[in-house]
Chain A
Amino acid sequence: MTQEKPQSVIVVEGLTKRFSHVQAVDHLSFEVHAGEIFGLVGPDGAGKTTTLRMLAGILPPDEGTARVAEFDVVREPDNAKRNLSYMAQRFGLYEDLTVEENIRFYADLFGVTRREREERSTSLLQAAGMREFRRRLAGKLSGGMKQKLALVCALIHRPKVILLDEPTTGVDPVSRRDFWRILYDLALQGVTILTSTAYLDEAERCHRVALLHQGKLLFCDTPAHLKAKLGKSVLSITASDSHGLRAELENASGVSSLVVTGDGVHIVVDAASRIPELKARLNKASLPFSAIRQVTPTLEDLFVDAVDTGASSHV
């Protein structure tokens, strides 16, 4: 089967935004393919929300272009808005309106006919397990349900692109897993999803990620590729005297970073072949340990390494 070049549904080039003295987004460029779940990842202040707002057409950029679903979102925001959905961080739900009323409101704004709205809302609410909550006030729903309702409202007009701003912050793990199941189903059906998160572990669920730091792009690739490109190995050592281990290994040769965890230490070394060397060293220092294991690097390891060494790559 030939690999066709995936079609780009979102194309961002040189996107820039300044707020008084802060460079919120600094010449950001990336592409999102059809049917992909793309993650904008970074801590607070990295520029995720600002980027999403620019792509949603509600915040004009200072420089750069952004095309979403074939429309230039800066010059033709209203055309672009018809084909996309934006789910803001605070969900955009009206607490004193019922589930039904919220859905109807957004459906009307997007010109969804009554018949279509009724069909779609029934099936969407069914899939979300919220059929019985139709008449409940949105303010009385639990956090996980509000999130699902916000998603229903975002999907009612069959958008081609969905922009989600930190949709799972603070939500319990079961609801988060359900939410991601929904996103995967949508992606399989060709919907393009751009989501942002501050949780590096959640970023691993995306098909591709762009790691942002202070408005700049650090990396953009699949999590697997990024980890393979790290070029270093990550080891986990289980021991009771983490502090002693730290003192001993912090400056050992080949060790580029060390973090004390609850039950040992987590270190980044230049190669896994260092393991016997490290074992010998610990034995010599009479520091007991129960295991040294090579583990898969996490995106956090990548992030820290990149910022520490000042390295980054553009894809």
Chain B
Amino acid sequence: MSYTRFLAVARKELVHILRDSRGLVIVLIMPVVLLILFGYGVNLDFKGLPVYVYDREGSQQSQNFLKRFQSSEYFDVVRVVNSYPALTASLDDGHAKMGIVIPWDFSQRLGERRPVHVQALVDGTDDNTANVLIGYAQAVVQNYSSDIQLDWLRSRGQIAQPALVSIETRTWYNEDLESSAFIVPGVLALVMSVIGAFLTSLTIAREWERGTMEQLISTPVTPFEIMLGKLAPYFVIGMLDVTVCALIAIYWFDVPFRGSFGALLFSSALFLIVVLSLGFYVSVIAKSQLAASQMSLLATFLPAFLLSGFLFSIEQMPVVLQWITRVIPARYYVSVLKKIFLKGTPVASLYSDLVPLSLFALVVAVLATTSFHKRLG
């Protein structure tokens, strides 16, 4: 292999990148845009969900009950209405995610030790949110219920505390359960897919379309030199982008970083090899830049978005899809990223993700190398 020829191709490719304003925008601005979009724009947290209340009694007791909801960080009691239609309207137009109806005989029944039913109307259009709301609401009510029983027991003189089982939860890795902390690392996978696959997929197709490839293959340069030369600049840019994105995640979005930077770079390099080789392969087999760009997005960005666990958790997917994610390289990268950022897992323990990723890198690189021939037709 000739170092001079490889450098010549790499240098030329770098100049193309720097002089192509559209490509530059993608390389420099896109990662930041994606981070902002997903860091701020997507909020999967269930906090401060709006609640409307129809309190038919309006007693001290019902007020105390309502305060439980108010003081919970998951709910935000926004308004009190005076009629049932008003309550349903608030759900219809989306002002409330949940509506609570307190019966007119709330405190009376409690005093007579009869069961009381409080009605909760939940907006079920988003079933994830609805399930969570119902869960939280039940928890609040359970707490209130057991507190009333305790009070009653105490007032009867039974001071002894009955055994109560309670759960003490400690959330590890992501204490505040900030969704941005678990989404943002995954954004790196998206960024790498676009840079690694989308941009490189254009490179070979572009030379065919412009007619320069014909001339290139009539010179002594070898297919391997062409491939390495074309991919090298994108590799460097990719690694730089990983670093920049990681820094933004840590210092801007306050995503914790507990692992080693070396592990981050190593796994990113592996993933880059996968997407770069894939992009190159697509560029060789696609007949035009348009086809190449579509194929590369379908093969990398889309799976990275939907099936890598970046946004939608794999465990909650149907089993068939879960099996499919095993052949999506991004899945392993996203998993590694979360482990490095949030858990601080040492490299040695990352083998369950790194081994498949390495395998992918090997297979796709070989595929790309053998696909390109210096021949027409």
Asked if A and B form a direct contact in the complex, defined as CB atoms under 8 angstroms apart, the reply is yes
Please list the residues of chain A having a beta carbon within 8 angstroms of any beta carbon in chain B: 19, 53, 56-60, 77-78, 81-82, 84-97, 101, 104-106, 108-111
If A108-B5, A108-B8, A109-B5 touch, whether A93 touches B217 (CB-CB below 8 Å) is: no
Q: Are B218 and A86 in contact (CB under 8 A)?
A: yes
Does B15 interact with chain A (Cβ within 8 Å)?
yes
Give the chain B neighbours of A111 by CB distance below 8 A: 2, 4-5, 220
Q: Does B41 contact A (CB under 8 A)?
A: no
Chain A, residue nearest B7 (CB): A108
B315 shortest CB reach to chain A, Å:
48
Tell me the residues in window 207-222 of chain B with beta carbons closer than 8 Å to chain A beta carbons: 210-212, 214-222
With A108-B8, A111-B2 in contact, is A59–B376 under 8 Å at CB? yes
Q: Find out whether the CB atom of B16 lies under 8 angstroms from the CB atom of A88.
A: no
CA distance A110 to B11 in the complex (A): 15
Given contacts A90-B212, A92-B216, 5 further A-B contacts (CB under 8 A): A90-B210, A92-B214, A101-B15, A109-B220, A110-B219
B216 — nearest CB in chain A belongs to which residue?
A: A92
A91-B211 in contact given A59-B376, A111-B4 (Cβ < 8 Å) = yes
Q: Provide a sorted-by-A list of 30 A–B residue pairs whose CB atoms are within 8 angstroms.
A: A53-B376, A60-B375, A78-B222, A81-B220, A86-B214, A87-B215, A88-B211, A89-B211, A90-B212, A90-B214, A91-B211, A91-B215, A92-B211, A92-B212, A92-B214, A92-B216, A93-B212, A94-B12, A95-B210, A96-B15, A96-B16, A96-B20, A97-B15, A104-B8, A105-B12, A108-B7, A109-B219, A110-B220, A111-B5, A111-B220
Residue numbers in B under 8 Å from A59 (CB-CB):
375-377
Q: Is B376's CB under 8 angstroms from A96's CB?
A: no
Q: Please name all residues of chain A whose beta carbon is closer than 8 Å to the beta carbon of B377 when the two chains form the complex.
A: 19, 59
Number of interface residues of B (CB under 8 A): 27
Q: A101-B15, A110-B220 are in contact. Are A58 and B374 (CB under 8 A)?
A: yes
A105–B211 CB distance below 8 A: no
Residue from B15, B219, B374, B375 in contact with A106 in the complex, judged by beta carbons closer than 8 Å: B219
Q: Which residues of B contact A86 (CB under 8 A)?
A: 214-215, 218
- Interface: B170 (CB within 8 A): no
Contact A82 B220 (CB under 8 A): yes
Interface centre among A60, A84, A92 (most CB of B within 10 A): A92
Query: In the complex, which of the residues B20, B218, B222 contacts A88, with contact meaning CB atoms closer than 8 Å?
Result: B218
